[in-house]
Chains A and B, each alone.
Chain A
Amino acid sequence: MSLESPKNYGENDFRHIVTIWIVLSVVLDVLYWFLVGPHVPPGRMTSTAKDNQLDFNVLFVIALPVLIGVWEWLAFAGLRWNSKRKDAPESVGGPSAAGKRSAEWSWIVITSVVVLFLAGFGTVELYAGNGSGGGEGPNPIQQPAGAVRAETAAIQGTGSWSPNSNEVLPVQVIAQQWKFTYRYPTFGGFESPFLILPNDTQIAFNVTSLDVIHSFWAYQLEVKADANPLENNVAFTKTEQLGSFEVRCSELCGIWHGAMFNSGKVVSQSAFMNWATSTETKNAQNTKDLPPFAWTYVPDANGAAGGYYPDGNVTPYSTVEIYGSKQPS
């Protein structure tokens, strides 16, 4: 570089930047896509994990050239456009330095196109992925075939699931300070302290809370849905691999929020069937003592709003029964 005469110092900077940028972007993008991409958390255990990994990778492959471009620019500013370089020419001001139509417009157009593409892509993926494993509230719109049927049957107590039936399996997640429990409405509504799921099955998680807001985050399953009191927050995924997974609370819910985690397992359909039916019978007595299965439950007296009234009246003023009043339409 020192051979450059001051006159044409920096003349080729832009060309160099672009060349380096293209080379680096292509190389790093390709390396990322093939070497890193397939290992991006949380893995490929479910349909949503796979889909969302794809989304992440697409975003990353677009983001990487942006990062490289700007950083390269900063590097050039530091190394080449630096007053410490005695051979560098003085800055040039004037109207030509104060703006350049073509640069401005191409910037606006390119960023807009990228951003609109991402929004479109995200939306398509959201629908294709049946809500991508995120909580959709009580009336989901992005959902797998058969979900409405299975959910309706579940709340009416007529649901059934068996291996190879291809039915959606509704599972209820009940969060409370500071633990998760799970109920299986298709198996008599028994309750389990850990989550067992059959492989190759569409699962409909129905997440609710008994007190404050929690968030059900089944990490490897790529499911995340806030648990709100008196609301049934539904999320879908399809299990595709055997293995165990972790469940954490990802919404601050008080003192022991950090300790609110447990784990679960995806097992074969027949193993699940065995477990479910045997637990159903084993727990039959306990299940009777539980409130009847419902999408939401009135918080208990020790919950967030329990003992709220100074006169000690902890029943809500409601004239109607809340149990089961909210069902997916």
Chain B
Amino acid sequence: MTTSAAAPSDVEKATSGAEDAPRTTGHGWLSQHVGTAIVGGFLGYILGHWLGNYIGSAYPYIANSGQNSLAVLLALLFMVAGWLLGIGALNYPLLKIVGREAKPEVEHVGWSKYFRYNLDHKVVGIQYVVGVLMFFFTGGLLAMAIRTELLSPTVHVFSADTYIKIVSEHGTIMMMMASSIVVGPLGNYFVPLMIGARRMAYPRIEAFSLWTFVAGYFVIFSALFFGGFPTGWTGYAPLQTQAGPGMISYLFGFAVISVGMIAAGFNLAATIINYRAPGMTWSRVPIFVWSIIATAALLTLASPVLLAAGLFGLLDKTAQTAFYVTEHGGSSYLWENLFWFFGHPEVYIMALPGFGIVGEILPVFTRKPLFAFRIAAAGMIGVALLSFFVWQHHLFQSGINPDMRPLFMLTTELISIPTGFIFLVGMGTMYKAKIRYEVPMLFCMAVYFNFLIGGISGVFLSDVPVNVTVHGGFFVLSHFHYTIMGGLIFAFFAGLYFWLPKMTGRTMNKKLGLWHFWTMFVFFNLTFFPMFIIGLLGQPRRVFTYARDLQTLNDFSSIAAFCLGASFLIFVANLMWSQFIAPQKSPANPWDSLGLEWQTATPIPPYNFERIPVIMTDPYHYSEVGAPALVDSGDGPPVHASSFVASSTDPDQ
């Protein structure tokens, strides 16, 4: 047990001397951290911009036009490169060229480790929490701006130009955020703990995914300085081709994000496949991990298509190819197809992890085993597979080959079968249980409530005749907010309230948690339900003005939206209060979960488990007399699941 309790210097001693390998990150504030990354990004930006203008100066049309897309692209490209160089992400890849291997990283203690290229999945998980909340609150503020403009059809707060920038920026930021909000923080933090692994398969790639994700934030945000982009998150060409340099931020931003998504999914998939503890067969893998591996498959296979689509868009705008320019031999449909081929798997990237969280939390609070576990896992894999075959349901009215419409109507409706499994699982688990309504459980119930509406409205959308009414309007808007916000974001908060005590050792305040939950739940529904009706009454999406008789409904929705925004202030207050201002030490296993992640000590030792656990069964044997032991923790008699308390695995106590 040298490593767990070792001070940094011991680790160093233990690992040094083996070879003369250099270290990839050093000590102290002179070494690499966020500060150097910012400097690197800044210098890179300037260099790239200069280079782009230098190249552009040879072309009279571009020089001094203020519309030099190439300069913007190179600036952003070099910015990201400088950022990664500055944080230390490239040290190792560069060392490899001369055949060197890095020494194990210096372990940073205290706060400073959160500002570095850290290879511990627990640190990366926390860093991701901060990252996604940064995205989320930026996007949230923009949403408030949108709802403010929509208070009146005639009195305008923003110009039409500003409004469309806000809408586009909101959608894009939120989509980027939502594809990582669970996988990043909770997936990275808990997957190894749940499968009994002491580390990730590719910790550097994991850290790389985080820092590219953060870089993506700066890139997409930079659009505002280049005049924004007018296309919404879907970026349809030829509007894309027509747009100014802000479009570069969108295209390149999505490319950066997709690289991060690939990296995150790659590492998680490799970890889950290979690092499951002995005895952790696929039928014992927790449902959250199942959801993550299904998501990882989508992340790794769908994102490359977005990357390619973005690359082609960038080439259109800088090298003046004509991929998406119909009159020059390209096609505007090409973007639509590439984008949605990625886009639909993407929406399940934003759903599956939420299902996983719910499946993980329900048994804890119902004290019952997860109902129909195999069906739940099969459903997730089924959804992942099917999601590659439905993308043209976004194009029903676009003028695609009409033969395709019945086909895609069928596949889309088929996907609601495996999606529906999650309801079977939930309802079976709740049935006649003695449920404890703690905050995480309430969020889970809300996921069912909201996602039901989201899913059913999806079936309406996939019916081509009904799609004629609702496509391109507020009905669609409401549909995906019910699935993403009502499903995924609620699930994320369920997971956060549930697992924060493990991550930080501090409990969230229950009273504030209840306030947060009820305000968020009520105002979420009050905000988005009217939008179904608004959509049916004919209001298109992304408009700054609308029919006068829709004002009442819009105002209602706007006011609810402001309250919804305020509910997050309660969350922030709770987070600040219970984590920093007046921290309350959490019991080792506050919810009496049987999950493996709760069976290790808090704070979690650097390598998670003192011994690699040997898994004897799945973690859902609640309320079962004579249940098999969960883990054979090596020394001492096996502990029975029904009487399991976390501290008993910790030999030091």
Nearest B-chain residue to A88, judged by Cβ: B434
Query: Which stretch in A107-115, A152-160, A193-201, A266-274 binds the other chain?
Result: A107-115
Name the distance in Å between A135's Cβ and chain B's nearest Cβ: 5
- A320 at interface by CB-CB < 8 Å: no
> What residues of chain B lie closer than 8 Å to A138, measured between beta carbons?
399
Q: Is B333 an interface residue (CB 8 A)?
A: yes
Chain B residues whose CB sits within 8 angstroms of the CB of A230 once the complex forms: 326-327
With A92-B623, A258-B544 known as contacts, the answer to whether A308 contacts B325 (CB < 8 A) is yes
Contact digits for B460-474, partner A, Cβ 8 Å, 1 yes 0 no: 101111111101110
A321 at the interface (CB under 8 A from B): no
Query: Which B residues are CB-close (under 8 A) to A299?
Result: 327
Decide if A93 touches B624 in the complex (CB within 8 Å).
yes
Question: In angstroms, how far is the closest chain B Cβ from the Cβ of A236?
Answer: 11
User: What are the interface flags for A250-281 relative to B under an 8 Å C-beta threshold, 1 for contact and 0 otherwise?
Assistant: 11111111110000000000000000000000
Decide: B472 and A215 in contact? CB cutoff 8 A. yes
Q: Are A257 and B164 in contact (CB under 8 A)?
A: yes
Interface presence of A144 (CB below 8 A): no
Q: In the complex, what's the smallest C-beta–C-beta distance from B405 to chain A, in angstroms?
A: 7
Interface residues on B, range: 35 or more
* Residue from A55, A93, A134, A228 within 8 A of B396 (CB atoms): A134
Residues 291-329 of A, flagged 1 when their CB comes within 8 A of B and 0 if not, give 000000011000111001111100011100010000000
In angstroms, Cα B456 to Cα A70, docked, is 12
Q: Are A135 and B399 in contact (CB under 8 A)?
A: yes
Q: Are B333 and A228 in contact (CB under 8 A)?
A: yes
Q: Are B431 and A70 in contact (CB under 8 A)?
A: no
Asked if A229 contacts B332 (CB within 8 A), the reply is yes
A103 and B59 form a contact (CB under 8 A):
no
- CA of A209 to CA of B58, assembled, Å: 35
CB of B650 within 8 Å of the partner chain: no
Given A211-B242, A308-B325, verify A258-B160 contact (CB < 8 Å).
yes
CB nearest neighbor in B for A220: B538
Tell which of A73, A111, A126 touches B416, judged by Cβ atoms closer than 8 Å: A111
Proximity string of chain B (212-247) to chain A, C-beta cutoff 8 Å, 1 when within and 0 when not? 000000000000000000111010111101100000
Is A225 positioned at the interface, with any CB of B under 8 Å from its CB? yes
Closest CB in chain B relative to A207 CB, distance in Å: 8
- List the count of A-B residue pairs having beta carbons below 8 Å apart: 317
Q: From residue 87 to 121 of chain A, which have CB atoms closer than 8 A to chain B?
A: 88-94, 97-100, 103-104, 107-108, 111-112, 115-116, 118-119
Which of the residues B420, B463, B545, B625 comes within 8 Å of A118, measured between beta carbons? Answer: B463
A63 touches B (CB below 8 Å): yes
Are B623 and A90 touching (Cβ within 8 A)? yes
Are the CB atoms of B541 and A248 closer together than 8 Å?
Answer: no
**Contact present for B327 and A229 (CB under 8 Å):** yes
Contacts of B403 in A (CB 8 A): 141
Asked, given contacts A93-B627, A258-B543, whether A119 binds B409 with beta carbons under 8 Å apart, the answer is yes
Instruction: Name which residue of chain A comes closest to B232, CB basis.
Output: A252
Cα A3 to Cα B595 with chains together (Å):
38
Q: Do A215 and B416 have beta carbons less than 8 Å apart?
A: no
Name B641's closest neighbour in chain A (CB-CB): A93
Give the most central of A13, A55, A98, A100: most B CB within 10 Å.
A98
A150 at the interface (CB under 8 A from B): no
B445 contacts A by Cβ under 8 Å: yes
Q: A163 within 8 Å of B by Cβ? A: no
A4 within 8 A of B: no
User: B362-377: which residues lie under 8 A (CB-CB) from chain A?
Assistant: 366-375
Measured CA separation A308–B328 after assembly (Å): 10
Q: How far is the CB of B359 from chain A (nearest CB, A)?
A: 13
Cross-chain contact B369 with A98 (CB below 8 angstroms): yes
Q: Contact string, B294-311, partner A, CB cutoff 8 A, digits 1/0?
A: 000000000000000000
Residues of B within 8 A of A77 (CB): 430, 433, 435, 445
Partner pick for A67 among B236, B373, B456, B541, CB 8 A cutoff: B456
The 3 closest A-B pairs by CB, nearest first: A250-B472, A258-B543, A93-B623
Instruction: Given contact pairs A89-B434, A91-B367, A119-B414, enumerate 13 new A-B contacts (beta carbons under 8 Å).
Output: A55-B466, A104-B375, A107-B421, A123-B406, A126-B464, A136-B399, A137-B401, A213-B237, A246-B538, A250-B471, A254-B164, A258-B540, A311-B61
